[in-house]
Amino acid sequence: MSTYLYGGQVQANGIRQHYLRYGGKGQPLILVPGITSPAITWGFVAQRLGEQFDTYVLDVRGRGLSASGPALAYDTDTCADDIIAFASALGLAGYHLVGHSMGARFILRAATRHPAAAIERLVLIDPPVSGPGRREYPGKLPWYVDSIRQSMTGMSAEDMLAFCPTWSVEQRALRAEWLHTCFEPAIVQALEEFHSVDIHGDFPVLRQPALLMVAGKGGVILPEDEAELRALQPALSISHAPHAGHMIPWDDFDGFFAALGTFLGPSFC
């Protein structure tokens, strides 16, 4: 039985923010996807989360059905502020934040910029740990830009095969359908800020319990990165999805929930 309830829009932090809601019962949970992932592409994960949480999946500004275009700012701090404003606009309290890749960086910054926010726990799913003077993020700009530009003229699941060769037909079809909603300048800025914005300084001041989920085959977070982050935040929990690349639930759905474990309370295993 589906846990999907509805999609909605709310005015928060001065923009229209679109979201999808699943479950409707239990503790609130806000899921923030990655750099070119509109909310709908995380629906298969939210469907499962909605069995135990009141789950809201955000369209980050410049993606999906949220506000977009050249008049908006797309920097890390602004996007982090969007999350807190979204929760406030809906009257959410005692909520969890779950973020993937770019979304993980945004929720971490949201928690440290707004220490009084009613955030309970954070799940940081394979966040880029690049930054000034650090190792580059494995994903390169042409992969994003070329696929976005092709999507503007229409793409099929077969077309998407060149960019996502390990994904299922259904996964590729959904990405092909929605990728055109990703505003290219927002994507370019986000990727640039993976290298110009250092999130390591956020870890020592993080007040909430946090789980760092590492993709075993992603190449984004290496053992030395884990050690550095644990040194910066000794209370940090770390789990692994050993059989998955960076897009963990796409590669290993059960492995994703195994890595989540009981960190948020209930177990999905």
Structural domain boundaries enclosing 9: 4-135+197-260
Place of tokens 């479950």: 23
Q: Is residue 8 included in any domain, yes or no?
A: yes
Q: How many CB atoms lie within 10 A of CB 26?
A: 15
Model confidence over 46-88: pLDDT tens digits? 999 999 999 999 999 999 999 999 999 999 999 999 999 999 9
Model confidence over 124-139: pLDDT tens digits? 999 999 999 999 999 9
Task: Determine phi and psi for 112, rounding to 5 degrees.
Answer: -85, -30
Q: Is residue 252 included in any domain, yes or no?
A: yes
Number of domains comprising the chain: 1
Tell which residue, 52, 58, 54, 66, has the closest CA to residue 14: 66
- pLDDT category of residue 269 using cuts at 50, 70 and 90: low
Give the mean model confidence (pLDDT) for residues 84-101: 98
Q: Is residue 155 included in any domain, yes or no?
A: no
- Please tell me the distance from the alpha carbon of residue 32 to that of residue 60, in angstroms, as a whole number: 7
Give the mean model confidence (pLDDT) for residues 137-148: 95
Model confidence over 226-258: pLDDT tens digits? 999 999 999 999 999 999 999 999 999 999 999
CATH number of the domain where residue 97 is located = 3.40.50.1820
Model confidence over 156-180: pLDDT tens digits? 999 999 999 999 999 999 999 999 9
Q: Is residue 71 included in any domain, yes or no?
A: yes
Q: Is residue 256 included in any domain, yes or no?
A: yes
Work out the mean pLDDT of the chain and round it to a whole number.
97
Q: How many residues does this entry show for the chain?
A: 269
Q: Does residue 267 register a pLDDT over 80? A: no
Q: Is residue 167 included in any domain, yes or no?
A: no
Q: Does residue 19 register a pLDDT over 90? A: yes
Half-sphere exposure of 167 (CA within 13 A, CB side): 22
Q: Does residue 29 register a pLDDT over 80? A: yes
Task: Determine phi and psi for 189, rounding to 5 degrees.
Answer: -65, -40
Q: Is residue 157 included in any domain, yes or no?
A: no
- Please tell me the distance from the alpha carbon of residue 80 to that of residue 61, in angstroms, as a whole number: 11
pLDDT on residue 1: 86
Q: Is residue 140 included in any domain, yes or no?
A: no
Q: Does residue 208 register a pLDDT over 90? A: yes
pLDDT on residue 266: 79
